[in-house]
Structure 1
Amino acid sequence: MFGNLFKKKDPIEKFWQYFIDHEKELYNFRDEDIENLFGDLYRLISKVNNQLVFSVPKPLIDGKREFTISGSRIAKNFPDVKRLVEGAPEMDNFTIVAFNQRNDDEHGTSTNDIEITRDDIFFDYTYEQEQNELFVSLYIKGFKEENDDYYAVVLDLLELVIGEYALATEITEVEFNMLNTKYDLLPINDLPKILEDIKKGTRL
Structure 2
Amino acid sequence: MEALIGVYLLTTGIKGALKLMNWMGLKTVPKTDIMAFNPNNGFPVLPTRLPSSTIDETQNEEQGHALMQLYSGLELFEKRLCYTFKNKALLVEALTHASYLPNRITNCYQRLEFLGDAVLDYLVTRFYFDNPCQYSPAILTDLRSAMVNNETFAIIAVRNRFHLYLKHLSLNLNAILDRFIRAQEENGHLFMHNVST
TM-score bracket for the superposition, by shorter chain length = under 0.3
Instruction: Tell me which protein shows more strand as a share of its residues.
Output: 1
Instruction: Tell me which protein shows more helix as a share of its residues.
Output: 2
The structure number with the bigger radius of gyration is 1
